[in-house]
Amino acid sequence: MSPGNSLTFSPLLPEAAAATLELRHVQVPLRMMCPHCDVVLGRAVELDAEAREVRVEALDDEDVVVAYDDLVVAVGAVPRTFPIPGLVEHAVGATTVMDAIYLRERVLRQLEAASLETDPERRLAQLTCVFVGGGYAGVETLAELHSFAQDALRYYPSLRSVPQRWLLPLPRTGGDPRPLQGSRSDRGHTDARSPRLVGCPHRASHADPPMAAATPGAR
In tens, the pLDDT along 28-72 reads 999 998 899 888 899 889 999 999 999 999 887 788 899 999 999
pTM for the structure as a whole: 0.74
Q: Is the dihedral of CA 146, 148, 154, 156 positive or negative?
A: negative
pLDDT surpassing 50 at residue 202: no
Given a contact cutoff of 8 angstroms between Cβ atoms, the answer to whether 214 and 90 are in contact is yes
Mean pLDDT confidence for 125-154: 89
Which CATH number is correct for 87-205, 2.60.40, 2.40.160, 3.30.450, 3.50.50?
3.50.50
pLDDT surpassing 90 at residue 104: yes
Phi and psi for 210 in degrees, rounded to 5? Answer: -60, 145
CATH 3.50.50 domain locations along the chain: 87-205
Given a contact cutoff of 8 angstroms between Cβ atoms, the answer to whether 144 and 14 are in contact is yes
DSSP 159: G
Longest Cα–Cα distance in the chain: 71
For residue 145, give the H/E element and its range.
helix 136-152
